[in-house]
Amino acid sequence: MVRVRAAVLPAVGSPLEITEIDLPEPGPGQVRVRLAAAGVCHSDLSLSDGTMRVPVPAVLGHEGAGTVVSVGEGVTHVAPGDGVVLNWAPSCGSCHACGLGEVWLCGNALKGAGAVYARRADGTDLHPGLNVAAFAEETVVAAGCVLPVPDGVPLTDAALLGCAVLTGYGAVHHAARVREGETVAVFGAGGVGLATLQAARIAGAARIVAVDVSPAKEGLARAAGATEYVVASDATARDIRGLTGGQGVDVAVECVGRAVTIRAAWESTRRGGRTTVVGIGGKDQQVTFNALELFHWGRTLSGCVYGNADPAVDLPVLAEHVRAGRLDLTGLVTDRIGLDGIPAAFENMLAGKGGRALVVF
């Protein structure tokens, strides 16, 4: 056993507790990782408040990178000393979705989240939130949850590849399939939204409109690739259509997960345009359409899970963009914090402040 500090969610809706936990040595097919950094994602907030279900008590955190400390029997693709990115949704390779090549929809990806992986100092069982429990100095995960950090990517920055960047890049390149010269609107300028803006720029979008409730994020959005910035209001869709000669954008990517934002993204796209929903909303967020508008506008509305990406395939592609200077990972980070700073990072997300907060160990 090894004792480390971690951010524990004792119950849904309760504040996080920064405390010590006991980790076992890795068993067969497991890997122990010392975290270098972990991003604070809106999905962690959704897990803590019950929007998404998670077995509790749990250690949250699903976007991280670190160094392999030890490996269990049968693990051969990484070794102690290797830098790794945590993959919170490892595909099983045998379910129906995996058989179709849609590994991001793997039906068994989150099986590990229900297991007991560690204990509090008082002996209470702990679950790994979204499989990897990255809000801790160290973690023990299944071998499928670690991928080698590609060459040329600093270990701390690599944490962002595990969720925000992979999701934003995949939303643009896999789900929406943005083509060179198209116009794109991105709703939400948090960590995933900023990554989506960069991905749209990499894809060669001619005009990129960033939308957010906060005027203070305009500089971040423009640095990521936005050519226009719209402060969200009841007139957002009309404003975007005004910027595009009344037509609307070719593609809208919604990174917020609210009914009003999804509806605005839909209304911002041209006839025949595509709207991709990345944000995770609650069941109470009901979006309605009438039958006539579905026919008349001919738009496509689609969901997007984990960027519709295959991490093993896409991480080397993202690394090449980093090495070439096309993808700026540090530009996504607005706050570098310790474990104690996670609750404040949650509050900032609720208030719509900043981009990505990064826990640096």
Question: Is the pTM higher than 0.85?
Answer: yes
- Measure the CA–CA gap between 342 and 325, rounded to whole angstroms: 30
CATH for 2-162+328-360?
3.90.180.10
Tokens of 178: 């943005």
Terminus-to-terminus CA distance in the chain, angstroms?
Answer: 20
pLDDT in tens, the chain (361 residues): 899 999 999 999 899 999 999 999 999 999 999 999 999 998 998 899 888 888 999 999 999 999 999 999 999 999 999 999 999 999 999 999 999 999 999 999 999 998 999 999 899 999 999 999 999 999 999 999 999 999 999 999 999 999 999 999 999 999 999 999 999 999 999 999 999 999 999 999 999 999 999 999 999 999 999 999 999 999 999 999 999 999 999 999 999 999 999 999 999 999 999 999 999 998 899 999 999 999 999 999 999 999 999 999 999 999 999 999 999 999 999 999 999 999 999 999 888 888 899 999 9
**Helix%, strand%, coil% for the chain, nearest 5:** 35, 30, 40
Domain map (residue ranges) of the chain: 2-162+328-360, 168-306
Residue 209, amino acid:
V
- Measure the CA–CA gap between 120 and 253, rounded to whole angstroms: 40
The CATH class for the domain spanning 168-306 reads: alpha beta
DSSP-derived pairing of the beta strands 58-59 and 138-142: unpaired
Closest CA to 191 of 220, 219, 218, 215: 220
Asked if domains 2-162+328-360 and 168-306 share a fold, the reply is no
Total count of residues recorded for the chain: 361
| φ, ψ for residue 265, nearest 5 deg | -60, -45
